[in-house]
């Protein structure tokens, strides 16, 4: 983040925060960019949120459109997919993606996501062997299949207390099949009841309406078709090719 190792980290710890509180602050607080987060191919910034009364609030990850690296297979506006991933997770009732909103910031329009002060030594490959995390990781596996996650690396899976969070969701929701994930441990296992119940919600009211402002009609239709196909299969899929895992895996 442009600081020497001897300087104090700008990252602040915090107690758990309610989703509604986080969304309100992300949507209304002033954004103060602290610096660029390392290891990101696109410009990604850590930001402080300053409340209307001047007090220091939460921290957020800011991804402006102007910082996106052009891609051949995804159109500009990956930040919209970050927001869509949060809205999908919330609609399913799975709470896997940190609260994320679309708004203007110091570097222009983009996404603002609640920063997770996780233990960054932990990732999918260190978490998958713990029995208490398996139900949440199964949800995330189903989420990635439905959302067509094209780049789910192990380092995109964070743990905060007992919660599992999925971050870096910009490469999701393509209408063409692009699933690339490290989460194949559950291949062939039956879908748990909570996963079935969540995916079944997508054919009800609300999902398409929530996502349509952020995704194309073809992308929303493809999401619903993938969810239907997973429900019809009744179990987690097997890897479809040797390119089913992103590189690097972490």
pLDDT digits (tens, 9 = 90+) for 75-109: 999 999 999 999 999 999 999 999 999 999 999 99
* pLDDT digit string, tens, across residues 32-53: 999 999 888 899 999 999 999 9
Main-chain phi, psi angles of 132, to 5 degrees: -70, -20
Which residues, in sequence order, are CB contacts of 75 under 8 Å at separation 6+?
none
Output the average pLDDT for the chain.
94
Residues contacting 26, CB < 8 A, separation 6+: 49, 58, 60, 99, 100, 101, 103, 112, 113, 114
pTM: 0.94
Neighbour tally for 79: CB within 10 Å: 25
Cβ atoms < 10 Å from Cβ of 17: 14
Model confidence band, residue 166 (pLDDT cutoffs 50, 70, 90): very high
Q: Are strands 163-166 and 157-160 parallel, antiparallel or unpaired?
A: antiparallel
The pairing of beta strand 45-50 with beta strand 100-105:
unpaired
Close Cβ partners of 237 (under 8 Å, ≥ 6 residues apart): 145, 187, 230
Place of tokens 């994320």: 100
Query: Average pLDDT in the 165-176 region?
Result: 98
DSSP labels, the chain: ----TTSPPS--------HHHHHHHHHHSEEEEEEEPTT-SS--EEEEEE-TTS-EEEEEEEEEGGGPPP-SSS-S-HHHHHHHHHHHHHHHT---S--EEEEEETTEEEEEEE-----TT--HHHHTT-GGGHHHHHHHHHHHHHHT-S-B-GGGEEEETTEEEE----S---SS----BS--TTTTPBPPHHHHHHHHGGGSSSHHHHHTTTS-HHHHHHHHHHHHHHHHH-BPPPP-STTSS-SS--
In the numeric block, the tokens 């995390």 are attached to: 133
Contacts 24+ apart (CB under 8 A), 217-226: 218/175, 219/173, 219/174, 219/175, 221/175, 222/148, 222/173, 222/174, 222/175, 222/176, 223/88, 223/146, 223/147, 223/148, 223/173, 226/145, 226/146, 226/148
Residue 198 has pLDDT above 90, yes or no: yes
**% pLDDT > 90, the chain:** 85
Tens of pLDDT along 153-162? Answer: 999 999 998 8
């Amino acid at each position: 983040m442009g600081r020497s190792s001897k300087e104090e980290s700008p990252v602040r710890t915090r107690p758990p925060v309610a989703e509604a509180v986080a969304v309100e602050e992300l949507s209304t607080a002033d954004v103060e960019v602290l610096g660029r987060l390392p290891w990101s191919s696109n410009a990604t910034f850590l930001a402080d949120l300053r409340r209307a009364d001047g007090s220091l609030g939460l921290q957020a990850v800011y991804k402006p459109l102007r910082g996106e690296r052009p891609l051949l297979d995804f159109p500009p506006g990956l930040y919209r997919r970050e927001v869509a991933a949060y809205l999908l997770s919330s609609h399913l009732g799975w709470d896997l993606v940190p609260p994320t909103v679309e708004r203007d910031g110091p570097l222009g329009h983009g996404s603002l996501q609640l920063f997770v002060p996780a233990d960054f030594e932990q990732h999918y490959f260190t978490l998958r062997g713990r029995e208490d995390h398996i139900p949440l990781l199964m949800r995330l596996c189903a989420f990635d299949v439905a959302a067509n996650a094209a780049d789910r690396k192990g380092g995109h899976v964070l743990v905060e207390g007992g919660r599992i969070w999925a971050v870096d969701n910009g490469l999701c929701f393509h209408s063409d099949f692009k699933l690339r994930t490290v989460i194949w441990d559950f291949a062939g296992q039956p879908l748990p009841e909570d996963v079935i119940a969540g995916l079944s919600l997508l054919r009800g009211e609300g999902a398409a309406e929530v996502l349509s402002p952020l995704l194309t009609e073809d992308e929303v239709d493809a999401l619903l078709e993938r969810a239907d196909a997973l429900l019809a299969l009744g179990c987690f899929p097997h890897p479809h090719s040797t390119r089913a895992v992103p590189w690097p895996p972490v």
